[in-house]
Structure 1
């Protein structure tokens, strides 16, 4: 049997499609729905929520719930759509980004978005490019390859921290056609220009450095989601799990973990610590490669 609220949604949708209700027109209020369809106020409220989720209506302060559509589409463009998508992803995670959700935030019909953004893949490319627009200008070179790569890695890390969804969204093997991602790669390879490394080696270094920063940053979104789900920071969660890990260690031969548990130092493990340690070791290794390359020449 069809849920009552779905029947109400279908009826109002038909009125919108046949022109009985036009963009900007008020739709029946929750109380009007209870009278017309003979349902409880909770059912009427659920119908309103479903209409908004479908991008068919928007709540307009001082007016009420009205039909979304061309009346509010005039200022709609790709940049606005992408900006709203980025804001949703930053606040709630990439899983919450959908055309319906974006349309609801913009107060337009869902289908109107597709005139500007053909599909989700194109939307993601736009989001990536928008997020990477926060990278600093790269036209000036210091001449110090290590300092330059360090600066580049830190700039990328900062962007990933501002946008926790970004690292998992960027593909390593099938890179998206983002102008700002191209600029990032050029910056990394350009930093190695005076080292004498072959351009193919510079590309490999660029991919390796990007992979390292992206890999560490891939933990940012799950961490943020865990905080939203549990209300606990990582430190608070670890404190609550301390006894669990101690019991686990007691049942297994793990002397290194036991030694760590006995430490009274202020050592803390988090993604920032891992980034700092890993970046330094990566650059140390590149220094050996570059020195060897110079020696061989």
Structure 2
């Protein structure tokens, strides 16, 4: 039997004997790939077959769950105990990441915070990878995009950037959790892509350029915000603040000045006279306008 078929048969058996009940999450693609030692594509194929056969269904912000049996009761509109416990698990994980950083986030740490056994968490989330997706979605939901988009592509991208910055300010770890080349499969993150593409929909840009414009605007905010989490991690490890660390670099700065290898930098430092405070909020504001100005040349150039 092919690997995908074996996975399908196993999930069906677990549903049949009650180990997986309607509304409960099934293992994610990554979890299945690890558990069965198969490629991600094989695990994804198994979930696709299960969905086509009506065994499982994808639920936004939750993941893939066991479907209700045909002719069975419809799911209640009120949240079940399973849903409420999952939300507690996700919120506990977000609190750990907010307070201590992602480095301290483990399934055991979440279980300890909730007073649960570590293995019991897997009844509510498929594993740490699934938990991270739910955490990101929960963090993004704390700062929702406007219900009514503003008029014009520029106002749309600016509004999105400002909400994104609010998210990172409240939950700095979010800026370090995903990458452009391997994006997290998060409905919350996809909302930003949807927002940007809709903002650019009435422009004359081709599809590739629209995606590039979105990625540049998104990466601008994420790139600056990543330093919030990096600074927090450095302070947690060393116990030294950013200002204290800079104050301790006097010998290195004197070496730079004496080496005569970086004359422009030395002149700039002299001109600043020790009066430069790297404020990330101020840097974000400083760069957002010029970034949009540059993108305007692309968007309006395409129109012409």
| TM-score using structure 2 length | 0.67
| C-alpha contact (below 8 Å) 1:128/1:170 kept by paired residues | no
Whole-angstrom distance in 2 between the partners of 1:122 and 1:264? 47
Aligned CA-pair RMSD = 2.2
Residue 21 of structure 1 aligns with which residue? none
Q: Shift of the alpha carbon at 1:181?
A: 1.1
Aligned residues: 223
Residue 142 of structure 1 aligns with which residue? 150
> Is 1:77–2:85 an aligned residue pair?
yes
Q: Shift of the alpha carbon at 1:273?
A: 4.1
| TM-score using structure 1 length | 0.69
The partner residue of 1:126 within 104, 129, 134 is: 134
Structure 1 residues 121 and 74, CA gap change in structure 2 (3 angstroms)? closer
Residue 87 of structure 1 aligns with which residue? 95
The partner residue of 2:266 within 258, 265, 272 is: 258
Residue 289 of structure 2 aligns with which residue? 280
| C-alpha contact (below 8 Å) 1:138/1:187 kept by paired residues | no
Q: Which runs of 4+ in 1 moved over 6 A?
A: 73-76
Q: Which runs of 5+ in 2 are unaligned?
A: 1-80
Whole-angstrom distance in 2 between the partners of 1:186 and 1:158? 19
Q: Which runs of 5+ in 1 are unaligned?
A: 1-72
Whole-angstrom distance in 2 between the partners of 1:143 and 1:160? 25
Question: Per-residue displacement from partner, 1:107-148 (whole Å, max 9, x unpaired)?
Answer: 111110011111111011111111111233333122132222
Residue 47 of structure 2 aligns with which residue? none
Whole-angstrom distance in 2 between the partners of 1:129 and 1:74? 18
Larger Rg: 1
Question: Per-residue displacement from partner, 1:34-80 (whole Å, max 9, x unpaired)?
Answer: xxxxxxxxxxxxxxxxxxxxxxxxxxxxxxxxxxxxxxx98962211
| C-alpha contact (below 8 Å) 1:143/1:194 kept by paired residues | no
Aligned residue for 2:249, secondary structure, equals: helix
Structure 1 residues 92 and 221, CA gap change in structure 2 (3 angstroms)? same
